[in-house]
């Protein structure tokens, strides 16, 4: 029931993500992958009214997360199930194309994913950063990573580290392609990065994502 409710709460985000995805044409009906259930058919399993303080039933966000994302934490709650669902659909389509030995469809799928890379980085970085903020602010794992440091890392430290690594990928992408909206791009992380460097790329990713939300009608 919790999974179904999450899918229902994520339907608005999923609608938008699907609308933003490039339409895929499958001229061969025998090859066309099975269509997922229509998003609009997801039924709400809860009367919960999402808010920045509680995007999902039972998930109370931290002050740090609310300070960083504000009203957009509701959107974060929608994105979590939507991104997971779209990830599965993308992999399913690639697997179907591979099984049918249709290299043309594989090339189309991969090309579409490449064009959507920036959106995927931005949305996922925002989600991961918000979850990390719910575990508070603090240190990150030092580079280079080792099996021992990963095994001993508290959950919050590992989350903050993952969030900063993903935010750094967004930073690197924006430096390379000039796709920043807010400007003032920090440096991407290197092996000598500090906690301040990690905080900077996370703040940049959050700023970029909020700017993208403010542009929505």
For position 14, what pLDDT does the model report?
A: 47
Same domain? For 126 and 182 the reply is yes
Checking if the pLDDT of 217 tops 70, the result is no
Checking if the pLDDT of 43 tops 80, the result is no
DSSP H or E stretch at residue 48: none
129, 163 Cβ separation under 8 angstroms: yes
89-94's contacts with Cβ under 8 Å and 24+ in sequence apart are 89/36, 92/33, 93/24, 93/33
The number of angstroms, rounded, from the C-alpha of 71 to the middle of its chain's C-alpha atoms is 17
The number of angstroms, rounded, from the C-alpha of 15 to the middle of its chain's C-alpha atoms is 15
Q: For 59-84, what is each residue's pLDDT tens digit?
A: 777 787 777 877 877 788 888 888 88
Domain boundary among 81, 98, 115: 115
DSSP 8-class letter at 206:
H
Same domain? For 124 and 188 the reply is yes
Checking if the pLDDT of 12 tops 60, the result is no
Residue 30 maps to a domain: no
For position 180, what pLDDT does the model report?
A: 93
205, 126 Cβ separation under 8 angstroms: yes
For position 20, what pLDDT does the model report?
A: 46
């Amino acid at each position: 029931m919790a999974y179904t409710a999450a899918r229902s709460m994520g339907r608005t985000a999923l609608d938008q993500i699907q609308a933003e995805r490039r339409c895929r044409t499958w001229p061969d009906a025998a090859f066309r992958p099975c269509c997922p259930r229509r998003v609009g058919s997801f039924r709400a399993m809860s009367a919960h009214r999402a808010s920045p303080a509680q995007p999902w039933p039972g998930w109370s966000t931290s002050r740090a997360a609310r300070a960083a994302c504000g009203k957009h934490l509701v959107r974060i709650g929608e994105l979590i199930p939507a991104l997971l669902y779209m990830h599965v659909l993308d992999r399913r389509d690639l697997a179907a194309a591979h099984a049918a030995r249709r290299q043309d469809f594989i090339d189309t799928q991969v090309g579409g994913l490449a064009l959507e890379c920036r959106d995927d980085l931005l949305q996922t970085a925002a989600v991961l950063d918000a979850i990390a903020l719910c575990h508070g602010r603090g240190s990150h794992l030092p580079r280079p990573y080792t099996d021992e440091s990963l095994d001993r890392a508290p959950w919050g430290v590992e989350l903050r580290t993952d969030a900063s690594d993903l935010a750094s990928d967004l930073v690197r992408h924006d430096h390379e392609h000039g796709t920043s909206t807010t400007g003032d791009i920090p440096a991407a992380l290197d092996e000598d990065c500090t906690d301040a460097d990690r905080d900077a790329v996370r703040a940049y990713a959050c700023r970029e994502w909020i700017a993208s939300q403010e542009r929505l009608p």
